[in-house]
Chains A and B, each alone.
Chain A
Amino acid sequence: MGIQRMRWLTVLLAVALVLGLLAGCAPKKPAEPAKPAEPQQPAQPQQPQGLSGSIQIAGSTSVQPLSEELAKAFMTKNPGVTINVAGGGSGAGIKAAQNGTADIGASSRALKPEEKGTVVEHQIATDGIAVVVHPSNKVDGLTLAQVKDIFTGKITNWKQVGGKDAPITVFRREDGSGTLGAFTELVLGEGTKITDKALQQNSNGAMRTAVAGDPNAIGFLSFGYLNNEVKAVKIEGVEATVDNVKAGKYKLSRPFLYLTQKQPEGVVKAYIDFVLSPEGQQIVGKEYITVK
């Protein structure tokens, strides 16, 4: 009997341990790319003392991680301020700003003509997406249509786009990823399905490692994760560089917008000013393209 009881406990413990393993799989943040420490910014203009209040941010899930970083930094500087960052999607963010249900609506796409003027726009960052292949791949450039055909499974061999005779290994991000969302929107068009055979990686870092390891691979990365392990191909003949994005030549980019119902005031203004300040833009610059 004693032994049996012990076994019960053992099994329960085993179950608890298995569950413990699951618990270990809590959300991970993508690793930040290593960057040389930037020189300290010159002294900031003094923030108004004793700022207090709360800010509600809602909208794009792509902007969400950046908003969280920025909000954290702002709240550290101003302990009296609480900022809540919620998701919901760009559409919801624009609506929230129009109705004033959130102080700031976040959008990761440009406003449509009919939406222009209904809210005040503040562009806080630009996100560029690079289509990457293995460095040994002799394909240097693709058209948007070719990229689309590769990811939807119409083109399956590199020789169809001027490369060697080898099957293309397509890598994509998991459903829900903002990078996947932007890629879908910019390249495939809403509702188009990526081929079922695409392999999935769950972070920019894992994507880079996977493409770097497979000579026949193709994938896509946020600009912040590009390095010499992978080759970014030209899109429509334009190189994937920050300058080309800023000049509007590179097509796979999108703005990150903060939207407010009226000209921002008080604590909301202080926060947006902070985001656009050199200090805020330095946070933006870790993974995205700054606006200044």
Chain B
Amino acid sequence: MRRAVFERGSEVALFLAALIAVVIIVLIGTFILIEGLPAFERTGLLNFLLGHEWRPLQGVFGIFPMIVGSIAVTAVALAVGVPLGLATAIFLAEIAPPRAERLVRPAVELLAGIPSVVYGLFGMTMLVPIIRALAQTWLGASLDPQFRAGYSVLAAGLVLAIMILPTIINIAEDVLRAQPLEYKEGSLALGATHWQTIACVLLPAARPGIVAAIVLAMGRAIGETMAVIMVAGNTPVLPQSLFSPVRTLTSNIALEMPYAGPGAHSQALYATGVVLFGLTMVVNLAALLVSRRRVKRG
């Protein structure tokens, strides 16, 4: 009897703990929505989302350049980070001899533990000068003079690419290892080489899991703030090339919140938060759908 009560009690306690996450997300959602709504009302939802100009002191609030900025740096991050991460995951799951694994795995874990501001410092002191040098010498003639400072979509994308590596590597490796052994044995028995097996059997079978890894990495890239602020240049103008300075949604909030006067300016920043919240929700829902499909198929 007492045991049953204890069992029940601990189940309830665990449920409550889990419930906190739900409550918090509802609270945060409601809070930023309440704070941000006046901005939508003042500027108009469409003008706010599609406006090209952000001049908070003149009361002009258009976050379209920031939406595009967030998408652009995320796209660069995925374009670089996904192939690199997948390759590493395949290496770890299929090819790595134990000694190489002992070297690579801790490095990946360490990568996940580095604070984002350190990535930002790295980007600011290493990547930005390299990109600046590239922009001023090789590409100098073809670039607008203002695009030669190094602070750019490219710099932000590359820093983010490194930051999302652990997410992709860890999930993709797990998924690859979780594939039934029969797939691999069957393929090898039919005379396929190891590489053919990886490329034509394992990867297709693991695709839903890999897509989930990419979507989670995307969420990480969209949400990252500090490192991006330090290397992106933060100009609230539509980026025109990889070398354009860019401002993302997260940067917009973090940059201007400290000094934003009460009223229109800070409301517009909260409204930026609402948009960002929506965007992350969509990304996470996508991850959910993808991983669901995987469960069904498995």
A19 at the interface (CB under 8 A from B): yes
Verify B146–A175 contact, CB threshold 8 A: no
Verify A3–B257 contact, CB threshold 8 A: no
Interchain nearest-CB distance for B185 vs A (Å): 26
Q: Which of B85-93, B190-198, B246-254 contacts A (4 or more CB under 8 A)?
A: B246-254
Contacts A199-B151, A201-B234, A214-B132 given; does A19 touch B265 at CB 8 Å: no
Chain B neighbourhood of A157, CB < 8 A: 145
Chain B neighbourhood of A50, CB < 8 A: none
Chain B neighbourhood of A167, CB < 8 A: 145-146, 148
Q: Which of B1-9, B19-27, B37-45, B98-106 contacts A (4 or more CB under 8 A)?
A: B19-27
Q: Which of A12, A26, A89, A209 has the most CB of B within 10 A?
A: A12
Bound complex: CA of A202 vs CA of B151, how far in Å?
A: 14
Verify B237–A197 contact, CB threshold 8 A: yes
Chain A neighbourhood of B262, CB < 8 A: 87
Contacts A15-B25, A196-B237 given; does A175 touch B250 at CB 8 Å: no
Bound complex: CA of A156 vs CA of B236, how far in Å?
A: 19
Contacts A11-B284, A174-B256 given; does A22 touch B25 at CB 8 Å: no
Chain A neighbourhood of B273, CB < 8 A: 22
B229 at the interface (CB under 8 A from A): yes
Chain A neighbourhood of B276, CB < 8 A: 22
Residue tally, chain A, CB below 8 Å to B? 50
Bound complex: CA of A134 vs CA of B253, how far in Å?
A: 29
Chain A neighbourhood of B233, CB < 8 A: 199-200
Residues of A whose CB lies within 8 Å of any CB of B are 3-4, 7-9, 11-16, 18-19, 21-22, 24-28, 61, 87-89, 156-157, 167-170, 174-178, 193, 196-202, 206, 209-210, 213-214, 216-217
Which 7 residue pairs across A and B have the least CB separation, nearest first? A167-B145, A176-B259, A27-B258, A200-B234, A25-B254, A197-B146, A199-B233
Residues of B whose CB lies within 8 Å of any CB of A are 18, 21-22, 24-25, 28, 55-57, 124-125, 128-129, 132, 145-146, 148-151, 216, 219-220, 223-226, 229-230, 233-237, 245, 247, 250, 253-262, 265, 273, 276-277, 280-281, 284-285, 287-288, 291-292, 295
A-B contacts, 28 listed (Cβ < 8 Å) = A4-B295, A7-B292, A9-B21, A11-B284, A12-B21, A12-B22, A14-B284, A14-B287, A19-B24, A19-B277, A22-B250, A22-B276, A24-B225, A25-B226, A61-B259, A88-B261, A168-B145, A169-B146, A174-B234, A174-B256, A176-B259, A197-B237, A197-B245, A198-B235, A199-B233, A200-B236, A213-B124, A214-B150
